[in-house]
Structure 1
Amino acid sequence: MDHWGTNFVLSFLRNVDNAANRIVVTTRELTDVTITFHEGTGDIRVFQLLAGESRTETFGFDSTAYPPLTVLTNKAITVESTAKVSVYGLSYVKRSTDGFLALPTPSLGMDYMAVNIDDDRSQIVIVAVQDMTNVKVTLKTETNNACWENDNWYYYNDGVVLELNMMSHDVVNVYCSRETTGSRIESNKPIAVLSGNKCASLPDLALCDHVVEMLPPIAEFGLEFVVPAPSGQRYGAMLRVVALYDVTSFDIKGTNHNIDSRRYTDVKLSQSDVFCFTSNKPVLVVLFMIGKDDDNHDDIYDGDAFLMLIPPVNKYTTEYVFKGNLLGYYTNKAMIIAHRDDTNYISPSVSAFEIIANCDYRVKTVLVNNVKTVTSTKPFAVLQYGYEFREAYGFPAGMRITSYDGKGYINRVFIIRFVSYST
């Protein structure tokens, strides 16, 4: 299966105040769609889409996963449809926007690894799909990371385990002052997990921007990747590779990197960078657009931080319908990646693919200003992003993913004990 589905469950990270939480639905065929925010008496939106159409529904701050480290009853949002659709989330406020690809419920797993940025209110949001869901979060963090709970900061060290009992549609946000990349999120039943930051200054000289992505289960980590840096913004990008296992090794741009489980390496990229790399063991790969990286008194520039999942090549799929004009005043683009033997299969046709040195894949960046349908008989990737004056968003337009669909869940049991919190 891939990102197309008829049932999705999701939530939104905390952004700066007054952010609008938007859900974008696209379809290949006539379909009826129901979006439900389950808290309280419920907020239900029902509509119909024709083939190739999209619709955006906006929810308020009450749909945000907040306050943190509290089980938020029925805080989830679900999307259900009569035919398969694609679903994207967008947390929007001027100068602090990012979005994510929502993964369909049958693809949700029970083991995840978080990724975010240091010193900018890291977040791990967990959404339960079924009743009696037991979740264990093993923090990967620096000493004395302050995490917010019950209107106070509580301090945690690396390896501390947070344990939660959740019911269907419950949401929890692990919200900390420092980075929690490499934290492990395990459960006895399928869960959705999102990760990012409230407002990340990337790098420190830049103004902060919201960053978020919905994470794939660790079983979806990959070995082979094509990485195109986004173009058009003033400054560059940063690649982050997170290891699942010890003694993970890979070469990027002629430099060998060796990292152990739950650790990562960062590689700064210029706008002209595009390359392929292969790891000896499965890794999670994400791309950050960065903002101002030089103390040059430059306060007028396009682009800023976003967080984008980079799918491995074995997770490319064959059909995408995405809203190119996601934010009308942005410059909206798509990076299309295909094997060199498969570029002619893409419809509508795309010409003048860029050759990637020492790589069998090709890449092409195109402007998109409407709802775009792109198909092929061969797998390929579409990475969507947009930028404007000191703001940006980015996420994959889709990907292949495993259908777990309840298999094996009954055999996984955690004995849960609640940790005591200490200041």
Structure 2
Amino acid sequence: MNSLWRVLILLPLANCALDSRGTHFLIAFLDNFTKRQDISPEIFITTASNTPVHVHVTSPGTSNPHVNQSFVVSRGIVHQLTVSPDFRLNHTEMSHKAIEITANKDIVVYGVNREVHSDDGYLALPTDVLGSEYYTISYAPSYHYCVFAVIATENNTHVAIKLPSHRNVSVSYRHHTYHRNQWINVTMNRYDTFQISSVGDLTGSHVISDYPVGVISGNKKTIVGNTGNSRDHLTEMLLPIRAWGKNFVTVPIPERNVGDIFRFVASQDNTEVNITGKINGTLFSEHFIIRHAGSHAQKMYSSFLYSHVVASKPIALYEFSVTQNRHENSDPSLITVPPIEQYATDYTFTTPKYSLGQYQNYFMFVTDAKHKGGLLLDGHRLPHEQKYVHIPGTHLVGGYISIAEGTHTVSHSNPSTTIGAILFGKANRESYGFPIGLLMAPINSGCRTHAMTIGDEIDNDCDGEVDEEHCDGKDSDGDGRIDEDCMGEEITSSLVG
């Protein structure tokens, strides 16, 4: 392979927040299954700003299809924008269908790719946190193709894609057919979108570029598990490898009984994974090794398992909602489980709409056990009867709560307390799920210790965690040092819930 592909561009670590909020986004929509009608893909945009934010959405790379809209959003207001179904990518193709979103202040963007009984959504990532190395995720058997797409942010971007080693991987592009373990090399310009489609499992496809790119990955439409025959679209915008973590908490898909499927994708060879958890109060543990970078382990766990996942090297963790059975409404969706290292302190988000009515929506959360009473949803504490499950080996609890359709905020009475947050919705033969926000610190790109500013969202002590200390004069993270990497504001008794 040419040495060019071995060069990874690593963005410099700035003294500002790197997270899923931003002022510039490039997004796209994967191939989806249409049968009776084309429903327009949707973009949901909101902000935490108390003052008006001016937003412009356009498609500089294509005049047909085309979008060109400007509008204003502010805190508590969500703008829903539909775009032509022709923006969806089609099989394996190079096109120019990137949608550009710009704003004069930070916004939050979600993409929802919705057809009748074929729907999923993703948290869009701003261009300032994109990377140059990814491993992709799909589910197999694919039924209607595994897919992923690369979005170019700069002209003359050289992209090398190594297909995974799974059987039946076959990609046809420009009169050539590529098989497992083969490289596909392309040059892309800004706003180009390159989708790859295969019947074989594309999980672990290795994407390397010499400029930052966005990657969206999933399935055109698939059955997940063996609980039924209905199928659904899967999509997520992927974290670059430099933002992967080693510590995770899993919360089960709400109000299901058939189990959840997880895929663990390794970034390095010989990655050990240890899982400890509780299933209805009973302790659970498991240990396994993923032998090769880009390889994955697939596990199916109880619908009542809350767990702590610890990996010896950075991994990506994905949770799949399985196909519904005749006793419960829900269907496949693909969810990125945020690393604990990338939890943020507050979020603003909105719920998508069901193609045939309304979803039953859930906020799935992880927060500090001692201060769980300070968790605020729309400015209010959770109900007194809220169930919390302690996560073994951590200071954290997990849970979920049903929420109404619309725009919501999540925060904590102590602004230094971080929160893991996922949005999930289910209906008859449809589901969606995605993290509502997260930090995007490049915690795996090499680290140098920094002088600390409280709440700077930098891994100041190079331990793989960001702002993990409570600034309270104690060794909060047990590393023998005091207040060396503090979160938010100093803890005072008046702030603790």
With normalisation by structure 1, the TM-score equals 0.89
Q: Are 1:130 and 2:157 matched, yes or no? A: no
Q: Are 1:356 and 2:391 matched, yes or no? A: yes
Q: Are 1:254 and 2:279 matched, yes or no? A: no
Distance 1:372 1:275 in 2: 26
Q: Give percent identity, aligned residues only.
A: 24
**Cα drift, residue 269 of structure 1:** 2.1
CA-atom RMSD in angstroms: 1.9
- Which residue among 438, 442, 466 is the counterpart of 1:399? 438
**Cα drift, residue 55 of structure 1:** 1.2
**Which aligned pairs between 1:295-306 and structure 2 lie closer than 5 A?**
299=326, 301-306=328-333
Name the SS of the counterpart of 2:94 in structure 1. Answer: coil
Q: Are 1:267 and 2:302 matched, yes or no? A: no
Q: Which structure has the bigger radius of gyration?
A: 2
With normalisation by structure 2, the TM-score equals 0.76
Q: Are 1:372 and 2:408 matched, yes or no? A: yes
The answer to whether the 8 Å contact 1:144/1:156 transfers is: no
**Cα drift, residue 299 of structure 1:** 4.0
Task: Evaluate the alpha carbon distance shift between residue 359 and residue 186 of structure 1 in structure 2; reply closer, same or farther with a 3 A threshold.
Answer: same
Task: Evaluate the alpha carbon distance shift between residue 344 and residue 212 of structure 1 in structure 2; reply closer, same or farther with a 3 A threshold.
Answer: same
The residue that corresponds to 1:277 in the other structure is: 309
CA distances 1:225-280 after superposition (whole Å, capped 9, x unpaired): 00011112463311111111111111224221111221111121222111112111
Distance 1:2 1:102 in 2: 11
Name the SS of the counterpart of 2:200 in structure 1. Answer: coil
CA distances 1:352-384 after superposition (whole Å, capped 9, x unpaired): 432234432111211111211111312111100
The residue that corresponds to 1:387 in the other structure is: 426
Name the SS of the counterpart of 2:31 in structure 1. Answer: coil
The residue that corresponds to 1:176 in the other structure is: 198
**Cα drift, residue 144 of structure 1:** 4.4
Q: Are 1:2 and 2:19 matched, yes or no? A: yes
CA distances 1:13-71 after superposition (whole Å, capped 9, x unpaired): 10112242111101112211111123116421111112221111111221112252x32
Paired residue type of 1:192: G
**Which aligned pairs between 1:131-146 and structure 2 lie closer than 5 A?**
131-146=155-170
Task: Name structure 1 gaps, 5 residues minimum.
Answer: 293-297, 405-423
Q: Are 1:202 and 2:224 matched, yes or no? A: yes
The residue that corresponds to 1:415 in the other structure is: none
**Cα drift, residue 124 of structure 1:** 1.4
Name the SS of the counterpart of 2:32 in structure 1. Answer: coil
Q: Which moved more, 1:34-43 or 1:96-105?
A: 34-43
**Cα drift, residue 343 of structure 1:** 2.3
Runs (4+) of structure 1 exceeding 3 A deviation are 298-301, 324-328
**Cα drift, residue 342 of structure 1:** 3.8
Q: Are 1:341 and 2:370 matched, yes or no? A: yes
Paired residue type of 1:208: R
Name the SS of the counterpart of 2:253 in structure 1. Answer: coil
The answer to whether the 8 Å contact 1:326/1:332 transfers is: no
The residue that corresponds to 2:345 in the other structure is: 318
The answer to whether the 8 Å contact 2:112/2:352 transfers is: no
CA distances 1:142-193 after superposition (whole Å, capped 9, x unpaired): 244222446x8x6433220001111100000011111111111000001000
**Cα drift, residue 224 of structure 1:** 0.6
Q: Which moved more, 1:226-235 or 1:112-121?
A: 226-235
Q: Are 1:332 and 2:364 matched, yes or no? A: no
**Cα drift, residue 118 of structure 1:** 1.7
Distance 1:234 1:274 in 2: 14
Count of matched residue pairs: 395
The answer to whether the 8 Å contact 1:334/1:366 transfers is: yes
Q: Which moved more, 1:102-111 or 1:300-309?
A: 300-309
**Cα drift, residue 83 of structure 1:** 1.3
Distance 1:209 1:215 in 2: 19
Q: Which has the higher contact order (CA 8 A, sep 6+)?
A: 1
**Which aligned pairs between 1:99-178 and structure 2 lie closer than 5 A?**
99-120=121-142, 121-149=145-173, 155-178=177-200
**Cα drift, residue 403 of structure 1:** 7.1
- Which residue among 76, 82, 86 is the counterpart of 2:98? 76
Distance 1:240 1:164 in 2: 28
The answer to whether the 8 Å contact 1:324/1:333 transfers is: no
Task: Name structure 2 gaps, 5 residues minimum.
Answer: 1-17, 276-283, 444-497
Distance 2:103 2:290 in 1: 42
Distance 1:263 1:211 in 2: 20
The answer to whether the 8 Å contact 2:249/2:391 transfers is: no
Name the SS of the counterpart of 1:106 in structure 2. Answer: helix
Larger relative strand fraction: 1
The answer to whether the 8 Å contact 1:101/1:395 transfers is: yes
- Which residue among 202, 207, 210 is the counterpart of 1:188? 210
Paired residue type of 2:273: F
**Cα drift, residue 326 of structure 1:** 4.0
Q: Which moved more, 1:109-118 or 1:45-54?
A: 45-54
Q: Are 1:63 and 2:87 matched, yes or no? A: yes
Paired residue type of 1:402: A
Paired residue type of 1:381: G
Paired residue type of 1:174: I
The answer to whether the 8 Å contact 1:325/1:371 transfers is: no
Distance 2:189 2:103 in 1: 23
Distance 1:229 1:364 in 2: 8
Q: Are 1:51 and 2:75 matched, yes or no? A: yes
Paired residue type of 2:359: Y
